[in-house]
Structure 1
């Protein structure tokens, strides 16, 4: 399950990148939030508004989120939820 959730975060990151690429104008962080992140049912809007910080972060409903990297002008996943260790099944 964790792998799928981080993949969902990467897909949202790619959607933001594609939006900027296709916009044809300088895109603000607020515009990306309004046009890409806010419409997504993955985003925890209340937590993002309360804890977004600087550099900006978008918290997802999963244990992952996206953080803006100003030096690259992109969004990368980060983990904000608890880490649950599950036993490894090494059986052949």
Structure 2
């Protein structure tokens, strides 16, 4: 899976579990771009669980550090390591 497709899938997950479905799309896009900078611990666990389930991966606790979750791009980069590793193993 390429990085842009992965990012789109992660944004969709964030929108699905975090945001009010009555918000307009512009509000959602702005919120998603900033969301990881102030996510609380309960929502973060929910997000990680949804991402792991969606992609069939298990994220190591060692990767759940501020550097990897400070913004959407950092988070996508961290997740891509797992998603791409599974693709390589399956080939």
Same fold (TM over 0.5): no
User: Which is helix-richer, 1 or 2?
Assistant: 2
- Structure with higher Rg: it is 1
State the TM-score, normalizing by the size of structure 2: 0.40
Task: Select the structure with the greater relative contact order (CA < 8 A; seq sep ≥ 6).
Answer: 2
State the TM-score, normalizing by the size of structure 1: 0.39
